[in-house]
Amino acid sequence: MGQLDGKIAIITGASRGMGASHAHRFVAEGAKVLLTDMRADLGKALAAELGGGAIFAEHDVTSAADWHRIVGIAEDEFGPVTVLVNNAGILGPMAKTADVVEADYMHVCAVNQHSIYLGMRAVIPSMLRAGQGSIVNISSIAGLVANYGFPSLAYVASKFAVRGMTKAAAVEYGPDNIRCNSVHPGFIMTPMMVEATNEEGGDALAQIPLRRIAEPEEVSNLVLFLASDQSSYISGAEHVIDAGMTAQ
């Protein structure tokens, strides 16, 4: 018996990186999963690899119309949505505050922050129909502290916002049996991480008490737990997975 038997999930940014890892784990644990991303070729190939428990749909998380379409696809294929993993995100400019271009700032906030509002707004009515829900919003240690090795005002702003939006939704929809939690990863080995450091972790290692970069699967263990009924009394909470970085 799988930990997600009977669950119907949407995972955004699922074509690669952590989202792809979560998709693998969710399907293995019995969930029906709608993978979404703007990288359609990768996403379609992954859904085919995962078999009947997974389908893929192209989706820009900054588009309200796309969100409406995506929820319709999930409901038509599988039924009312019970799990939403708001995972899609971008790092944006690595620049100090006075050097951040306004358009770049707005784009990072659109993808990382505004999408969380659009996604929860679109999916919560489906969860209300299901009578249950678990929303997992992927923030970052940059949603807890500003100094994690890179100057990145927009990323920090957006990821701090995700943390607060998570608590607001948890309070509002707790009486409807919908839980909402944020996840705060440290350094995880994904294409985003490699692009940011231009190498396999680089100087980041010295900042990490465990002295290693995590594999995406290690974060999937936590996301799986929060999506499943194993975490039935956990809501409105911040879940840090950073090998002790923010403990320093």
Active site residue 117: no
Segment interacting with ligand NAP, rule: CB under 6 A, options 3-11, 49-57, 86-94, 97-105: 86-94
Check residue 88 for interaction with ligand NAP (CB under 6 A). Answer: yes
State yes or no: residue 57 binds ligand NAP (CB under 6 A).
no
Interface with ligand NAP includes 58 (CB under 6 A)?
Answer: no
Cα distances (Å, whole numbers) of residue 165 to 76, 122, 128, 143, 158: 28, 15, 18, 12, 10
φ, ψ dihedrals at 208, nearest 5°: -105, 115
Q: What is the dihedral sign for C-alpha 202, 203, 204, 205?
A: positive
Task: Tell me if 89 contacts ligand NAP by CB under 6 A.
Answer: yes
Q: x-or-dash pattern for ligand NAP, window 137-156, by CB under 6 A?
A: -x-x----------------
Asked if 191 touches ligand NAP (CB under 6 A), the answer is: yes
Residue 4 is a binding residue for ligand NAP (CB under 6 A): no
**Candidate ranges 22-30, 98-106, 181-189, 232-240; the one touching ligand NAP (CB under 6 A):** 181-189
The span from the CA of 167 to the CA of 169, in Å, is 6
Please state the separation of Cα 13 from the chain's center in Å: 8
Contact 9, 233 (CB under 8 A): no
| 163 is a site residue for ligand NAP (CB under 6 A) | no
How many whole angstroms from its chain centre is CA 110? 15
Residues contributing to the site for ligand NAP (CB under 6 A): 12-13, 15-19, 37-39, 59-62, 87-90, 111, 138, 140, 185, 187-188, 190-193
Residues catalogued as catalytic: 155
